[in-house]
Structures are given as structure tokens and as C-alpha cells.
């Protein structure tokens, strides 16, 4: 056993540069991947906390690469610059732990009022570390390399204990709480399992990266430190931390599929809402254009029948009851129509377009730009409903079908007609692609507005929905 440990020590001592390079690469890669994931639009608190974890990965990777590059730089740089590199490396270590700590706190948001002070705890500890071991320690040494090396070990160890250990444990606890509080209601057991694995890896890193630091002449670093474990096991701590980092990266990569699941469900909900709205309006039009008109006609015939029966009291009574029943039916249908169309309100053109473009249903999924060169002209309730439905359907299509990242909504007036363009940067579509119900509904609404609609699209070049309709310029 002793021979194997000695062989491992010799192997890792010989390949020390490779070990630190791989360690830095693991965390730097994790940071870059999470930085891209943090750009995803999501209502989950995890998405808002991810930038902190991305910053942790990037800054921690850069810190570890310092153990590779600073000795190389020391061969030809003046000692003063090498000292500055060591100072920057220690600062990066503490900053990375601060970001890890903040990630853990962010995953617990919102906190109860009595625990709001936790939001400020990582920053307060970091400031105390900067004022104490970092700056205070530097003022006590003349600045030559041996003293810097000793200061480096002490400041780094205190960063491990005060920020790395609580930061890793807080991040692990935050992931666990977030999984049960926000992911469990989505009924995604696989995501919950991977988040638990990520939490365990984070807790392991909190211990390996926070409790076990450089060898220092005070507890616990005088007994439990990287050097002692390396001598006992033959495997340096960067290897253990790299393994934990790889487990964490793999678990998070799978767990972050929850963003896609969330987006798919939100898109499905939008589709259901659009289908329900279109069906409700179709039924309302049928009731108004057909059923209600038939009842009006039946009422007129009943009135004519009443006039013809003359003095026949029994027939007059029957005719009166028939008229009363028809009037009640008309009032009932009017009430139903009023209920079905209660969302129809007068609107104003520019305000309506701006409001829809900033609607969180769309702006949380795609970046919407607006360029509205139209006055705030009043719209009738039916006009406002049609304009809103056309723009909503176009934005929904950009999200769920085009998979667009950006949408530009433009509007301008020309000779009493509004020219509305909704341009996305999505996948586009072939000219011969059959139109679905949504596009047909948009064309019908444009016709009902007295205008027209055309689609400009090509595969890989996005889609532009161009709508033109008259708007009466009245105050």
C-alpha cells in the first residue's frame, strides 16, 4: 500500500502542471456553459441564480490556472510583477467563493423577512476578508516573494474557511430546496434526481474546496490540509475537486433541461389559450350572425301573427308568451355574447402594440424590439381585438415554431393605413409550406379589419408578417 501511495505521489508530482491545467479547465468550462444557459428566459429562480455559478466557474478556473502560469512567468518577470500575480490569484480565489456563496443564497430566494440579512452575508464576509487577511496581511510584509508566499497561504486558507466552506454548503442546500420548492410541482422526477446529485457534488466540493486548504500554522489547517492528504493518499486535492466538478457539471447539464421543459409547457399553454380564444370568438360570431338573427326574424313573425289573430284572446295570449320567450332568448344570447366578449375593449393603436410587445408571455421567451412610428389612434373594441390577436399569434409563432431569439415589431402610418411588420430571426419556412390554423386566422382577421396580410419567409432567413389595415384618424 505504501509503495502504491509513493508511486501515485511521484506520478502527480511529475504531472503537476497537467493536474492544475485540467482542474482549471473543468471549472472554466463549467462557467462558460452555465453563462450561456443563464441567457435562457425562465421564470425559475434557478435561471436568475445561474450567473453567480457561472462567475464562480470562470473565476475559479482562472485562479487554478495561476498555479500553472505564475511559475512560468516567474522565470523572466521581475519579482514585483510576480508578487502582483500572486495577489491577483488570491483575490480571484476569494471572489470565486463569494460567487458560489451568492449562488446558494440566490437559489433560496425569496427568503422570509427575518432571514433577509442572509442576502448580505456573503458580501459582508468578503469585505471582512479583503480588509483583514488580504489587505491587512499585505501591509505587514515588505513585499518580497518568500513573505508573499506565506501571506498567500494564510489568505487563501482563510478564504477557504470563511467563504468556500459555507458557500459550497449553502449552494448544496439551495439546490435541494429549489428542487423541492420549484421543480417538484412540475412533476419531473428525473430533473429532481439530477439536482440532488448536483447538490451532493456541491456539498462534497464545499468540504473538499472549503475545509481542506493550504497548510497553515493554525487549526484546522495545521492538521487537515492539502499537503497532509496528498502525503497520506498520494492523490492531490485538485484531482478530487476536478472529479466533483465533473459530476457537478454533468448533473447540472442534465438538470437544466428543465428550462426547455418549462418553455415547452408555456408554449403549449399559449397555444391552448389561443385556440380557446379563437373558438370562443367563432362561437360568438355564429351566435351573433346566425342564431341571433334567426331569433329576430322569429320575433318579427310572432308580432305579425299577433296582429292577425285579432280579438281571439287565447291566440293573443299564446302570441304574447311566444314574444316574451323570444325576447328572453335574445337577452340571454346577448348576455352570453357580452360574457364571451368581455375582453373586448376600446384601445389605442400605439399603446396596444407596445403593451403586447412587452407582454411577459412573449418577452420572457424572446427579445422583442419595437419601432412604432404611429400615433395613438383610438380603435373600436373589435378592431383592438383583431389587432391584438394578429400580433399575439405572430409572436407566438416566432417562439414556438420559428424558435427565434429576436423579434422586431415595426408600425407606421401611410395615407390612413397602418403598416405593421413582425420580423423574426427564426428558422423560416418554405414558400410551399401549407398554412396552419393560426395563419389562416390571422388572414381572416386582417380581412375583417378591411386590410390584408402577407407572409415573407425563406428557410434559414426568418419570417416577416406584414399586415396592412385602415385606421380612422379621429380624436
The pLDDT of residue 258 is 78
CA distance 52 to 35: 9
Predicted confidence (pLDDT) per residue in 219-251, tens digit: 899 889 888 888 888 888 888 888 998 999 888
What is the tens place of the pLDDT at every residue in 142-172?
544 457 888 999 999 999 999 999 999 999 9
d(CA 108, CA 89): 30
Place of cell 502527480: 12
Q: How far apart are CA 135 and CA 130, in angstroms?
A: 6
User: And the C-alpha cell for 2?
Assistant: 505504501
DSSP string spanning 352-396?
A: HHHHHHT-HHHHTTSEEEEEEE----EE-HHHHHHHHHHHHHHHH
Low-confidence ranges of the chain (pLDDT < 50): 143-145, 342
Give residue 311's pLDDT.
Answer: 67
**CA–CA gap between residue 393 and residue 404 (Å, rounded):** 14
CB 138 within 8 A of CB 148: no
**C-alpha span between 189 and 253 (Å, rounded):** 16
Backbone angles phi, psi at 369, to 5 degrees: -100, 145
Which ranges of 287-359 would DSSP assign to H, the alpha helix? 292-309, 313-340, 349-357
Amino acid at each position: 500500500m505504501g509503495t502504491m501511495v509513493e508511486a501515485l505521489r511521484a506520478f502527480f508530482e511529475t504531472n503537476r502542471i497537467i493536474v492544475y491545467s485540467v482542474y482549471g479547465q473543468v471549472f472554466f468550462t463549467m462557467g462558460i456553459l452555465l453563462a450561456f444557459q443563464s441567457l435562457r428566459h425562465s421564470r425559475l429562480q434557478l435561471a436568475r441564480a445561474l450567473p453567480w455559478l457561472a462567475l464562480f466557474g470562470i473565476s475559479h478556473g482562472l485562479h487554478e490556472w495561476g498555479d500553472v502560469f505564475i511559475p512560468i512567468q516567474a522565470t523572466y518577470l521581475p519579482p514585483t510583477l510576480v508578487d502582483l500575480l500572486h495577489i491577483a490569484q488570491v483575490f480571484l480565489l476569494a471572489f470565486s467563493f463569494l460567487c458560489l456563496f451568492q449562488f446558494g443564497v440566490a437559489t433560496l430566494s425569496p427568503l422570509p423577512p427575518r432571514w433577509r440579512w442572509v442576502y448580505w452575508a456573503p458580501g459582508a464576509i468578503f469585505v471582512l476578508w479583503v480588509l483583514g487577511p488580504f489587505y491587512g496581511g499585505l501591509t505587514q510584509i515588505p513585499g518580497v516573494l518568500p513573505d508573499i508566499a506565506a501571506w498567500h497561504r494564510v489568505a487563501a486558507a482563510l478564504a477557504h474557511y470563511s467563504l468556500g466552506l459555507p458557500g459550497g454548503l449553502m449552494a448544496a442546500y439551495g439546490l435541494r430546496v429549489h428542487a423541492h420548492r420549484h421543480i417538484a410541482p412540475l412533476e419531473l422526477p428525473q430533473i429532481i434526481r439530477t439536482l440532488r446529485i448536483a447538490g451532493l457534488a456541491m456539498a462534497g466540493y464545499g468540504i473538499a474546496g472549503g475545509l481542506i486548504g493550504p497548510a497553515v500554522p493554525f487549526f484546522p489547517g495545521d492538521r487537515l490540509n492539502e499537503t497532509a492528504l496528498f502525503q497520506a493518499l498520494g492523490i492531490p486535492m485538485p484531482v478530487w475537486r476536478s472529479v466533483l466538478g465533473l459530476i457537478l457539471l454533468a448533473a447540472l447539464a442534465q438538470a437544466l433541461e428543465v428550462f426547455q421543459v418549462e418553455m415547452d409547457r408555456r408554449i403549449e399553454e399559449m397555444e391552448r389559450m389561443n385556440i380557446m380564444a379563437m373558438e370562443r370568438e367563432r362561437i360568438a360570431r355564429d351566435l351573433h350572425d346566425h342564431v341571433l338573427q334567426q331569433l329576430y326574424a322569429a320575433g318579427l313573425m310572432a308580432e305579425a301573427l299577433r296582429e292577425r289573430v285579432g280579438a281571439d284572446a287565447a291566440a293573443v295570449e299564446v302570441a304574447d308568451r311566444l314574444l316574451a320567450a323570444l325576447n328572453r332568448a335574445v337577452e340571454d344570447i346577448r348576455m352570453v355574447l357580452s360574457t364571451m366578449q368581455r375582453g373586448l375593449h376600446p384601445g389605442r393603436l400605439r399603446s396596444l402594440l407596445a403593451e403586447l410587445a412587452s407582454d411577459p408571455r412573449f418577452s420572457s421567451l424572446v427579445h422583442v424590439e419595437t419601432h412604432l412610428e404611429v400615433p395613438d389612434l383610438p380603435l373600436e373594441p373589435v378592431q383592438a381585438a383583431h389587432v391584438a390577436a394578429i400580433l399575439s399569434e405572430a409572436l407566438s409563432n416566432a417562439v414556438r415554431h420559428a424558435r427565434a431569439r429576436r423579434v422586431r415589431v415595426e408600425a407606421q402610418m401611410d395615407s390612413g393605413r397602418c403598416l405593421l411588420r413582425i420580423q423574426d430571426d427564426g428558422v423560416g419556412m418554405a414558400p410551399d409550406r401549407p398554412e396552419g390554423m393560426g395563419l389562416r386566422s390571422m388572414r381572416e382577421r386582417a380581412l375583417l379589419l378591411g386590410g390584408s396580410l402577407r407572409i415573407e419567409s425563406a428557410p434559414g432567413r426568418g419570417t416577416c408578417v406584414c399586415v396592412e389595415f385602415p385606421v380612422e384618424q379621429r380624436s
